[in-house]
Amino acid sequence: MAKRMTRLAAVGVLIALVSACSMFGPTKLKEEAIVPAETLYQQALADMDRQYYNTAIDNLKKLERQHPNSEYNEKAKLMQVYANYRIGKFSEAILAADRYMALFPSSPETPYVLFLKGTSYFAQIKDITRDQQLSRNAIDTYTLLIANYPKSDYAKDAREKMVIAVDQLAGKEMSVGRYYAGNGQYTAAINRFRMVVDDYQTSTHIEEALFRLTESNLALGLTNEAQTAAAVLGHNYPSSEWYKKSLDLLQRVGLQPQLNRASTLAASLQG
């Protein structure tokens, strides 16, 4: 009898729930109010002026969603690149830049978009102990900008930032090279220092790289290569403290800087 009463009670609860649902009807999703494209665009402009970038992005996305064929669509996509960049949403800015350039490849705003994309990578560059893929991405983007739009308003700034990004890559190689040299892995160290000399000649690390090549080659008994590295350093940076150190290392073992014409390093940095 008790079990039967329990079953009846459960059935009663279920009927009550069904009745309640029938009373209130099915739940409806609130439809988004359609706002004129021009109104959304002007609101986004006002938000940008007040530096309310998140709100501006919301209005720009709504504009795209509600009016995909609007005359304001291209401007909306361009503004999203800038707004995301300004609030530090760099990944979103990069995606927005790629989307803009894919949709409007002939736009006169392309140099500006490339600059924002490159600078979004640049702003995320880590110290030289970290992976430097962001530096490479920044360099690739700035290179594209400078190659295709050398006279644009953004090319000069891109060149200056690219110098810093290149220095980061060189610094990373130097850091790894020093680690190898400190552990007696001189061949691996030489490979890193040579990369700096061959690929990053405009970096601030070039003088030390040549000194480290002198040092590491001497440690392996490769005197010709050591003399050549010191000679290249002395030829290009005769007043450098790193050259003085290289000269001191060689003189300790009775050697002098001397170009070995058979060495591939002999042509490096020669004016």
Q: CB of 56 within 8 A of CB of 76?
A: no
- What 3 state SS string does the chain have? CHHHHHHHHHHHHHHHHHHHHHHHCCCCCCCCCCCCHHHHHHHHHHHHHCCCHHHHHHHHHHHHHHCCCCCCHHHHHHHHHHHHHHCCCHHHHHHHHHHHHHHCCCCCCHHHHHHHHHHHHHCCCCCCCCCCHHHHHHHHHHHHHHHHCCCCCCHHHHHHHHHHHHHHHHHHHHHHHHHHHHCCCHHHHHHHHHHHHHHCCCCCCHHHHHHHHHHHHHHCCCHHHHHHHHHHHHHHCCCCHHHHHHHHHHHHCCCCCCCCCCCHHHHCCCC
Q: CB of 214 within 8 A of CB of 233?
A: yes
Residues 6+ apart with CB under 8 A from 227: 214, 250, 255, 256, 257, 258, 259, 260
Handedness of CA 81, 83, 86, 89 (dihedral sign): negative
- Rounded CA gap, 46 and 52, in Å? 8
- Rounded CA gap, 271 and 262, in Å? 18
Dihedral, CA of residue 45, residue 47, residue 53 and residue 55, to nearest 10 = -110
- Please indicate, yes or no, whether the overall pTM of this predicted structure exceeds 0.75: yes
- Rounded CA gap, 145 and 154, in Å? 8
Token output for 248: 């001191």
Task: For helices 37-49 and 73-86, give the axis angle rounded to 10 degrees.
Answer: 20
Digit-by-digit pLDDT tens for the chain (271 residues) are 444 444 544 445 444 444 444 444 455 556 778 989 999 999 999 999 999 999 999 999 999 999 999 999 999 999 999 999 999 999 999 999 999 999 999 999 999 999 999 999 999 998 888 889 999 999 999 999 999 999 999 999 999 999 999 999 999 999 999 999 999 999 999 999 999 999 999 899 999 999 999 999 999 999 999 999 999 999 999 999 999 999 999 999 999 999 876 666 655 555 4
